[in-house]
Structure 1
Amino acid sequence: MIPTRSFAQKKNLLLAFDAFGTLFAPKGHVTDHYAAFARHHGIDVPSKNANPSIKDAFRAAYKHEFKTHPNYGKAVNMGAEQWWANVIKGTLSHYLKPKQSIPHALVNDLLTHFSTSDGYTMPPDVMPFFKMLRAKKRKPEQVPEWMWDNTIVGVITNSDDRVPSILESLGLTVGPRRVGTSAERKICSSMDDDISFVVLSYDVGYQKPDKRIFDAAIEMGKETLADGPEGLDIQDFEKLYVGDSIDEDYHAAQAAGWNACLLERSEPSTWNAAEYDVHHRDDPNDQQPKKVDVIRTITSLVNWSPSEPKP
């Protein structure tokens, strides 16, 4: 079904995605990678009956670092690399023998591993969606199912600065525009990139669900348009955010003035025509009867259109 504009709807779309869990996900459990690399570097992580289990150790180390140094230690200029190094050491320190230490090479290998497609996979609905957008830019008349005249795609994420390299290693083109100094922000990006900009919580200084990270994305959209076709203004664009967390993504985006879709991805083996519809279900966190817009695949966005404003 090709959606139609039933009211005076804007013809362009500023579309932003969450990153982790939405555009990419780890290959298996993160701790399986930790254990394999640790064993390679001579640390004996038991495959069974470990106390604590490596999953519990990782969970505790992550929670400790998140509480001690929120937003990757932005307040103390720590940075994501040192932040994750602390998580790695906190996880694997339980399995050290007397006088054994965690090798720097182990930490570096894991950081590198989780910076590329070696550590991550792209869900099967993501690339077909971006290929459809590429085709729309080349020959708009051949992709009538995507009703938007112009689409700017960005990423808004609480993940760290490895996100662009991960996305590129998975086959997407990512523009260089980031929130930062004025010189950095003048680097040209293009609406022809699969992703024109990436907004990182570390750069902004605030994490989702804070409204300011979504406001930063609007500014990135404005700057992208400044380098794009003449005559377009960000006010001519609907704003849509897509993510897999009902609080940090769906509700946060709506509170910031964006439209939102909650991604509850189903297994590819169950996909059928109905899976490509936009579903509506009750919000379990809301005391008032309210429906949540849910999609099972990113390609379902071809069937999304903003709700008609109420008088």
Structure 2
Amino acid sequence: MSKRNLLICFDAFGTLFTPRKPVAQQYMEVGKSFGLAGFTEDDIAKSFKSAFKQESKQNSNYGKATGLGAEKWWSNIIHNTFKPYYGPSEQPPANLIPALIHRFHSEEGYALYPDVLPLLNKLRPDDRTTYGGNVIIGVITNSDNRTADILTSLGLHVHPLHYGQPYKRGGMRPRYDIDFTVLSYDVGHEKPDQRIFAAAEEVLGTLMHSTDADTKTPAEFHPERWRKVYVGDEYAKDVIGATNAGWNAVLIDRESGERQPDVEYLDNKQPASLWDVFEKTKAVGFSSLENLSKWIPSRS
């Protein structure tokens, strides 16, 4: 049966957005702005890595597993990153932790890659259909519950639907850049675990089985009619995870240029239909979303 519908999901960090400056540099600058001293960017990088490892061990899944919650989890990491530099008080300066929490919850700490919106606009024009079928765009990411807020702050229109939340359709259907998010924080499993991709398929089924507000009739959903594609920047988590879950994968390697043996790299080839390529191979690679866009068939 021809796959006329497309479910395409993206990784977030490193694929859709990136830190405006290296994370350790931003921590260092904010720490110094609150009067802390005696450290270099390298010192903060090492201290942050140690604090992150310790907190992950004590409170897994960004603190959700132990009831701590993501904001307190990150507060502990910030506190332990700077603890060696507090001095006799052994307490953080007032507002240091809130300042860093806010920075990395918004466009203050991150920047959207410039090739994101052009690709999303090509994938799904304003009438929300292309290639003769539906296109649903999601995000699947190993992250806590900040992701949707970060993407929104960067100018994307993100539907509030996420895994684990009942979907209620009603009223007019505005244009969204992202239809849903699937977070490891909600699923309890991280990529490359196949269960996080299964969670996205579950959300897709919820969307397609929901009642259409305009027609009042159930939307048709046949899983075998959907092509499932995942786009990410990490081979081990994104490509392996997606292909093992039965999806096609797109590896976006913006910097390293490292080649993986089971990925077909298309940057230097004449653009054609990506869907035809996926009939022969499970995974392809590009150096940017801009180059990926050249392989997305124009709307028919």
Give your verdict on TM over 0.5. yes
Shift of 1:291: 8.2
Aligned to 1:287: none
> What is the one-letter code of the residue matched to 2:194?
K
The answer on 1:303 being equivalent to 2:295 is yes
Shift of 1:275: 7.9
Shift of 1:250: 0.6
Distance 1:205 1:104, change over 3 A: farther
Distance 1:302 1:264 in 2: 16
**Structure number having the greater helix percentage:** 1
1:176, 1:187 within 8 Å by CA — same for their partners in 2?
A: no
Q: What TM-score, normalized to structure 2?
A: 0.81
> What is the one-letter code of the residue matched to 1:172?
L
1:155, 1:195 within 8 Å by CA — same for their partners in 2?
A: yes
Distance 2:231 2:168 in 1: 26
Distance 1:31 1:238, change over 3 A: same
Aligned to 2:59: 69
Distance 1:83 1:235 in 2: 40
Aligned to 1:28: 21
Shift of 1:139: 8.9
Distance 2:95 2:14 in 1: 28
Deviations 1:66-106 (A, max 9, x none): 23322112221121111111111111112121124113511
1:241, 1:258 within 8 Å by CA — same for their partners in 2?
A: yes
* Mapping 1:253-268, distance limit 5 Å: 253-266=242-255
Aligned identity (percent) is: 38
Shift of 1:148: 6.1
2:157, 2:178 within 8 Å by CA — same for their partners in 1?
A: yes
> What is the one-letter code of the residue matched to 1:15?
I
Bigger shift: 202-211 or 219-228?
A: 219-228
Distance 2:128 2:22 in 1: 40
Aligned match for 1:294, one of 271, 285, 292: 285
Distance 1:276 1:204 in 2: 39
* Mapping 1:1-311, distance limit 5 Å: 9-47=2-40, 53-134=43-124, 136-138=125-127, 147=131, 149-180=133-164, 184-188=165-169, 192-225=175-208, 226-227=210-211, 230-266=219-255, 274=268, 292-299=283-290, 300-303=292-295
Instruction: Name stretches of at least 5 consecutive residues in structure 2 with no aligned partner.
Output: 257-266, 273-280
Shift of 1:262: 1.1
Distance 1:22 1:47, change over 3 A: same
Distance 1:156 1:45, change over 3 A: farther
Aligned to 1:270: none
Distance 1:124 1:158 in 2: 22
Aligned to 1:4: none
2:194, 2:244 within 8 Å by CA — same for their partners in 1?
A: yes
Shift of 1:260: 0.9
1:276, 1:296 within 8 Å by CA — same for their partners in 2?
A: no
Shift of 1:221: 0.8
Distance 1:197 1:27 in 2: 25
Distance 1:232 1:82 in 2: 40
> What is the one-letter code of the residue matched to 1:260?
A
2:128, 2:135 within 8 Å by CA — same for their partners in 1?
A: no
Shift of 1:277: 5.0
Distance 2:248 2:282 in 1: 13
> What is the one-letter code of the residue matched to 1:107?
I
1:179, 1:216 within 8 Å by CA — same for their partners in 2?
A: yes
2:138, 2:181 within 8 Å by CA — same for their partners in 1?
A: yes
Distance 2:198 2:120 in 1: 24
Distance 1:118 1:262, change over 3 A: same
Q: What TM-score, normalized to structure 1?
A: 0.78
Distance 2:58 2:128 in 1: 51
Instruction: Name stretches of at least 5 consecutive residues in structure 1 with no aligned partner.
Output: 1-7, 141-145, 268-272, 279-289, 306-311
